[in-house]
Structure 1
Amino acid sequence: MKLPKTAHTSRPWRIHELAPDFQVEDVWALPTPGGPDDLPRLVSQTVSGDNFPEGAPLIVRVVWAARWKIGALLGWDRPKSGLGSRVASLRDRMPDDLREAPKGPQSDTFPLTPLYLLKDEWAAEMANGTVHTVMHIGWVPDESGGHRGQMTVLVKPNGRFGAAYMAAIKPFRVWIVYPALMREIERSWRAGAEGQPPVRT
C-alpha cells in the first residue's frame, strides 16, 4: 500500500541526518507482519530478490529490461556516473556510530551499496547518470500491535534531466513495478515465515 510521505518524514530515522538534500519519492507499507526483531530477515529477503524480476509479470520484465538496455545505450550506468565519481557516497557523511554499525547484505537484484543496518532501519544507495537514490527500509509498529516493514525511496536527481527522467518513469514505477515487487515481497515473506531461512549478513 502506498503511503503519504509523512509516514517516512515523521519518524526519527537516522537517514534524515545523511540525506537532508534528498527528496522523498515513494513510501510503501510492506505486507510483512512480524515481531520486533525481524528487520534483518526482511532486508535479507528483499535484497536477495531470487524471483524478481524474473518471476514478475511479463510487462514488469519488459519495463525492467528496457530500462537497462536504454541505460547501456546512453551510458547512464557507466562507472564514471556512479558513486565515488559523479557523486560522493553518503558514507562520507556518516558519523562514527553509523560507520561502525553493520552494513547489512549486498543486493543481488538491485545495484545498491549498503550503508548501515540498525534494529529498526536499513539504508542502501546507488547512483547513475540520472539520479542519486537511497532505498530505506524501516521496521515500524502496525495497527495490530506487531510490526511491519516500510520501504521509502529517496532521490536526488541529476539536474533538470534527472528530474525529467524521474517524472517520466513515475507511472511505470508506481503502477507496474512497485505493485509487482510488493506481491513478491509478500510471497517471499510468507514462505520465509514457514521455513525461517537463515539471514544473510
Structure 2
Amino acid sequence: MRLPNTAFTERPWRVHEFIKDFEVEDVWDLDTPGGPDDLARLVRQFDSDGADFKPSPIYKLLFAIRWRLGAVLKWDGEKHGIGPGNPSLRDRLPDDLRDGPRGPDMRVVPMKSVYQTSDEWVTELVNKTVHAAMHIGWVDDGGGRYHAQMAVLVKKKGTLGKLYMLFILPLRRVFVTPSLVKTISRPWKTRTAD
C-alpha cells in the first residue's frame, strides 16, 4: 500500500542526515510482519540468488525495455555510475554509519548497499538520469510487532532526469512498485509461515 511521503519524512531515520538534496518519490508499506530484530532477515532476502524474485510479467517487460533503452542510449555505462563524477552516498555518511555494517549489494537489481543498521537499510543506483536510493526502514507497530516500509528517493540529473522520472511515474506507481511490493512480501510470508 502506498503511503503519504510524511510516513517517511516524519520518522527519525538516520538517512535524513545526508539526503537533503534528494526528493521522496514514493513511500510504501511492505507486508512483512516480524519482531524487533527481523530487518536483517529481510535484507538477506534481497541478497538471495533471485529464485524468490517473481515479479509480474508487466514488471519484467518494463524493466527489459528500460535496460535495453539504457544500453542503446548509454545511460548505464561506467562513466555514469558511482565514481569521481558521481560520488556514492557512502561518501556522505557520518563515521559511525561508515564504520558499521554496509549490508549486501542487491543481486536482482544493480543497487549497491550504502549502510545497514538494526532498523534501516539503504541502497543506491546511479546512472545518466538519476541518483536513486531505496530506504527500507523497520517500523515499530507497538506490542513487539514490526514491519518494513520502503521509500524511493531520487536526485534527478538535469532535464533528462526530470523528463524520465515524469514519464515513468504512472508506470512505476501502477505496475512496477506494486509488483515489487508483492514480490518482497510473498517469500517473507512463506518463510514466516514455515
Q: Into which bin does the TM-score normalised by the smaller protein fall?
A: over 0.9
SS in 2 for 1:154: strand
1:46 and 1:144, CA in 2 relative to 1: closer, same or farther beyond 3 A? farther
Contact 2:111 2:125 in 1 (8 A): yes
How is 1:31-180 mapped onto 2 (pairs within 5 angstroms)? 31-48=31-48, 49-52=50-53, 55-142=54-141, 146-180=145-179
| Counterparts of 2:65 and 2:52, CA distance in 1 | 18
- In the alignment, the residues of structure 2 paired with residue 97 and residue 123 of structure 1 have an alpha-carbon distance, to the nearest angstrom, of 15
Partner residue, 2:183? 184
Structure 1 position 142, deviation (Å): 2.4
Contact 1:47 1:110 in 2 (8 A): no
Q: Which runs of 5+ in 1 are unaligned?
A: 196-201
State the Cα deviation string for residues 134-158 of structure 1 (Å, max 9, x = none).
Answer: 1100000227751100000100000
Q: Does 1:194 align with 2:193?
A: yes
What runs of 5+ residues in structure 2 fail to find an aligned partner?
A: none
* CA–CA separation in structure 2 for the residues paired with 1:96 and 1:154: 22
**Whole-Å Cα distance in 2 between the matches of residues 120 and 84 of structure 1?**
28
Distance 1:33 1:8 in 2: 18
Structure 1 counterpart of 2:4, one-letter code: P
Aligned residues: 193
Deviations 1:163-197 (A, max 9, x none): 110010111111101111111111110122134xx
TM-score, normalising length: structure 2: 0.94
Counterpart in the other structure of 1:198: none
Q: Distance in 1 between matches of 2:29 and 2:142?
A: 12
Pair 141,179 (structure 1): closer, same or farther in 2 beyond 3 Å: same
1:11 lines up with 2:11 in the alignment: yes
Corresponding letter in the other structure for 1:183: K
Q: Residue by residue, what CA displacement relative to the aligned partner does 1:38-87 show, whole Å, maximum 9, x if unpaired? A: 001111213434343xx322222111100000000000000000111431
Q: Match of 2:110, SS?
A: coil
- What is the Cα-based RMSD across aligned positions, in Å? 1.4
Preserved CA contact (<8 Å) 2:35 2:144: no
The sequence identity of aligned pairs, in percent, is 50
Q: Aligned partners of 1:10 and 1:108: how far apart in 2?
A: 30
Distance 1:144 1:58 in 2: 38
